[in-house]
Amino acid sequence: MRVYISADMEGVAGITAWEQVETIGGVEYARSQRLMTAEVNAAIRGALEAGATSVTVNDAHGRMRNIPPEDLHPGAQLISGAPKKLGMMEGIDRGFAVACFIGYHARAGSPGVLAHTYSDVVHRLEVNGQEMGELGLNALLAGYFGVTVVLVSGDQVLAGEARQILEGVEAVIVKEAVNFHAARSLPPRLAREKIRQGLVRALSRKSFQPLAAPAPATVTIKFNDPARAAAAAILPRSRFLDAVTVTYTGADYLEAYQAARSLIALAKSS
Ligand SMILES: [Zn+2]
């Protein structure tokens, strides 16, 4: 049983501010690296306890070099660095039994801690008309490869998002969002224990049902201003819906996922 872990940072217990998760200039960043790595290690321990034969961790935050390789549990392999073709889901393939999302945050416009969708240039994102954040986008990509997301960890808003789209998911709440920049957090040690136990429960499930990835798949992104949208619309085959909204239809979900990330990267670069 191969287990895949995508690890972000904003949803880790104790983290509430950009300064804590930004590599450059973040005075508290080194501490956040330790908090993130400890939650990932708790997930690895849970997976191994539950019978995983191999665990792959993809560092999925920012420049994707947050987990110090020497501090990762030796029972797992680490994918780090960027850019990566599949970004937050690099390394996923049909051979994984399940996937887990650790340290995830809620989608743009929701009341979660540091809620956003890939970038603060994104106001709202939809896949085939359904609003999604990073959780939904990445869970659909797991589904495209036939892999079920069985556990997510983050705040209660992220947990609500997960329960809406992932039947039977273990949603581990490590902090209660008070607002965008404030949270009532579990002590990190307790958060890690809940993640480990959650993994053991999640992997003891009798059956897994991956999300059905749509084909064709349309991503529609409303940006924060027309200049961002104009830059995004440079992507071939994308279309303007209005001054701030750009849409792209892919023959399959993988193409739409790549397009969404490309649209956002172009918008960010403007
Ligand atoms: Zn992040």
Instruction: Give the bridge partners for 179, in sequence order.
Output: 182
| Per-residue tens of pLDDT for the chain, all 270 residues | 999 999 999 999 999 999 999 977 677 999 999 999 999 999 999 999 999 999 999 999 999 999 999 999 999 999 999 999 999 999 999 999 999 999 999 999 999 999 999 999 999 999 999 999 999 999 999 999 999 999 999 999 999 999 999 999 999 999 999 999 999 999 999 999 999 999 999 999 888 999 999 999 999 999 999 999 999 999 999 999 999 999 999 999 999 999 999 999 999 998
Residue 62 alpha carbon to ligand 1 centre in Å? 6
Residue 79 alpha carbon to ligand 1 centre in Å? 15
The active-site residue, picked from 73, 105, 116, 123, is: 116
Active site residue 105: no
Residue 13 alpha carbon to ligand 1 centre in Å? 13
- Rounded-to-integer distance, Cα 135 and Cα 166, Å: 10
Checking DSSP bridges between strand 182-185 and strand 170-179, what pairing results, if any? antiparallel
For 99, how many CA atoms within 13 A lie in the half-sphere containing its CB? 30
pTM: 0.97
CA dihedral 134, 137, 142, 145 (to 10 degrees): -150
Residue 215 alpha carbon to ligand 1 centre in Å? 28
Which residues hold their Cβ within 5 A of ligand 1, which is an ion? 8-10, 61
| List of residues 6+ apart from 14 with CB closer than 8 A | 35, 175, 185, 188
Residue 134 alpha carbon to ligand 1 centre in Å? 9
**Within the chain, how many helices (H) and strands (E) appear?**
7, 12
Residue 8 alpha carbon to ligand 1 centre in Å? 5
Comparing CA positions, the residue from 108, 134, 130 lying closest to residue 9 is 134
Residue for token digits 């209005």? 242
**What 3-state DSSP class applies to 227?**
helix
Sheet containing 122-127: which strands, arranged edge to edge? 130-131, 122-127, 217-223, 245-250, 239-242
Residue 104 alpha carbon to ligand 1 centre in Å? 7
Residue 153 alpha carbon to ligand 1 centre in Å? 13
